[in-house]
Chains A and B, each alone.
Chain A
């Protein structure tokens, strides 16, 4: 069995590889394989999988990609992920990708979908809309239609037919992936000293880059290997990270938070792998199952409208309680409208529940960790002092 170190080294190598070698190799291993990229937030990876294709999460260029051409495409006041994603495109790092999905997360990603069409008119790209109306016969029906459009588009790309059986099998595999991801999160929450956040992050991140079956195995192996180890337990404060759902913080930032005395016991990095809070049923028409589960059991996040004001923001209080957390760190990307506009509401909700919080902004290439370390360290100390 692989050691924890082996597993993390593999995940780190995947994370560092901006040429997406693993996905390229997967594609080249068999004639007729296709890779479909997607930007952060939810896309129905089950449909891509059912079409025999590899869903590939494109999460920007991180802190090691030098953005040269991307800067000519964006004005100064904007987050960094679209710039670095354009850089990935223009430097041919995504030349093997057969299609791109742009989920409805914000205006930046929305407009990026159009830029893709202009820059690569010959490659499939699709703005993938999800419903903001949660009634089954309204948003649900619309969404089934959108899912079907995607399915048909992929069928065209692959010259294949995707059957209901294919879809049900894929739903089952992703149900397993979500179950394991939740288990991974629970493992960290129960024993954060055995599962540093940077490792959990890397294990999750690997799931954006490799086939889901492989990822399922990887999560199981990691939990098994990490549980068997004995690592020193520190007197850290338990915190939840909120606002990092799109442009990802650099790994160093994730490490810095922990090094400053915080155990991260929940976060919203890469929500796509935990989007559904319950299993997608496999005993009804599959697109309907995906649609209705989206309506009923999606995670709460700023890009989705919350129809019920009474529960607005309470998900954060709930996760703090469920994970015995002692505070929340709002870590949002600079210029991120969804995260930053939502923040005052969430802060009010936390204040009402007497939950301490701090906030800072980052970019995927933030290099200076000292201020963040100091802020998080002071927060951790104050939690210890006052709790």
Chain B
């Protein structure tokens, strides 16, 4: 039965790590807002395959346009920005992250926290797992006329990372990326500093993976999709490679260890989820403009996401990858190629299959993003394959990341409810 759609309550419950995470992200916005006074140079870059450890070697501050789009989505500001970009001539058909960003820029580049986002000194176009990135930074460069460093990360179309691919990326780092950063920042590249940063990354990555894998417990102490979005924040962005991130993941891990010891479920915006009824694996990004409403549709039904591919978009650490200080540039190259959407469809399908099995999930839910071909093209095929291989039911909903026009709450809720009923039926049938 379809329950009436209730608005989620406005009091959000937070645990210590969440507050810490928010402070870190806000701190980066402060730093960006303050570059006029500090004189820090600004590097824009993307989340998947970012080179944060390297950028830090040049004392530059990172701005992540996708994060701005997400934050603007969560704060319900993205819709207006997207319209602004469309007014400028952008098609309604294309990636809404790009439009939210371009729209923000056209509206004066005031960031989600109300502070100005400074112009880039360099656009770091590390083009990992998504073609749109390429066009996105060409669009920004068109307006800012600033230095742009391109890092072409080969797609792992045949499912493997070859030595030639690694060498290609390493050469680009040496001949294209590092010299440009040295020129812009005036700081000489120091490989030992990079090694140190990479060592920090690896430490944080260990704890991060532990956190993700804690969802194998029953009940799961975390929600690996809605909650996972908070967990990935530091490691996917300006903090990987810092002490802060190491510290954050230590705190988070301790918190979750405690939750496991107490037999507790995940924390939702309305408190602890008490009754784990369904264990779900998700594919695809979430919707950010109605995220709480979307999440509520899960926790109200006792559904917890135990593994998600979205939390691998900035690195598939749970399949073994770690940044390696002993092979600094090669390790950066491999990291870029390991990001989720840089993996071919058979690999992505295998990942989903293993999540269903390893996390003892009841099924797969795909949130197909209207404007994101990188994720969405082929998801229906993956869904059929995963269903076939695991025998578990799958469902498909369509929303958008940050365009509120494409979140139809009633439709999504109906679809989810029938999906949960389908799981019940399968269970009764002993499947």
* Interface of A toward B, CB cutoff 8 Å: 72-78, 82, 102, 104, 106-108, 110-115, 117-119, 126-129, 131-133, 135, 137-139, 141-142, 145-146, 302-303, 305-307, 309, 312, 332, 334-338, 340-345, 347-348, 361
Contact = CB atoms under 8 A, between A and B. Distances in A.
A129 B150 contact: no
Contacts of B142: 309, 312, 345, 348
Given A110-B157, A341-B132, 7 more contacts: A117-B346, A118-B381, A138-B176, A142-B165, A337-B94, A340-B91, A344-B89
A305 B171 CA distance: 18
Contacts of A137: 171, 175
A145 B157 CA distance: 15
Given A77-B93, A133-B152, A344-B88, A107 B373 contact: yes
B377 interface: yes
Contacts of A139: 152, 168
B368 interface: yes
B377 A126 contact: no
A157 to B, nearest CB: 15
B264 interface: no
B157 A142 contact: no
A141 B165 CA distance: 11
Given A77-B371, A114-B346, A132-B152, A107 B132 contact: yes
Interface in B371-423: 371, 373-374, 376-381, 385, 396, 398
B90 A108 contact: no
B155 A104 contact: yes
A114 B172 CA distance: 27
B175 to A, nearest CB: 6
Interface string B135-153: 1101101100100101010
The 10 closest A-B pairs by CB, nearest first: A127-B157, A114-B345, A341-B135, A132-B152, A142-B168, A111-B378, A340-B91, A107-B373, A111-B377, A114-B344
Contacts of A132: 127, 134, 150, 152
Given A129-B154, A306-B138, A309-B145, A115 B381 contact: yes
Nearest to A135: B175
B56 interface: no
Given A114-B157, A312-B138, A107 B175 contact: no
A110 B378 CA distance: 10
B311 interface: no
Interface residues of B, number: 57
Given A102-B157, A107-B132, A343 B145 contact: no
A75 B370 CA distance: 8
B131 A138 contact: no
Contacts of B90: 340-341, 344
A307 B123 CA distance: 12
B193 interface: no
A118 B349 contact: yes
- Best-buried of A77, A336, A348, A361 by chain B (most CB within 10 Å): A77
B328 to A, nearest CB: 18
A207 B131 CA distance: 28
Contacts, number: 173
B91 A118 contact: no
Given A118-B345, A309-B142, A309-B145, A343 B376 contact: no
A131 B152 contact: yes
6 contacts: A75-B376, A82-B377, A115-B378, A128-B157, A129-B154, A142-B154
Given A127-B344, A309-B142, A341-B135, A77 B91 contact: no
A337 B131 contact: yes
B183 to A, nearest CB: 15
A343 B373 contact: no
Given A77-B371, A133-B176, A334 B93 contact: yes
A67 B113 CA distance: 47
A127 B155 contact: yes
A106 B396 CA distance: 23
A338 B141 CA distance: 16
Contacts of A117: 344-346
B172 A309 contact: no
B261 interface: no
Contacts of B131: 106-107, 110, 303, 337-338
B127 to A, nearest CB: 7
A129 to B, nearest CB: 5
B94 A341 contact: yes
A28 B421 CA distance: 53
B65 to A, nearest CB: 14
A149 to B, nearest CB: 8
A347 B132 CA distance: 18
Nearest to B150: A305
B345 A111 contact: yes
B138 A133 contact: no
Contact of A305 (B134, B346, B349): B134
A345 B138 CA distance: 9
B429 interface: no
A145 B163 CA distance: 11
Contacts of B89: 343-344, 347
For B93, B125, B347, the residue with the greatest tally of chain A CB atoms inside 10 Å of its CB is B93
A347 B88 CA distance: 11
A307 B149 CA distance: 9
B346 A111 contact: no
Given A114-B348, A133-B152, A345 B373 contact: no
A343 B138 CA distance: 11
A77 B155 contact: no
Contacts of A302: 135
B83 interface: no
B368 A75 contact: yes
Contacts of B98: 341
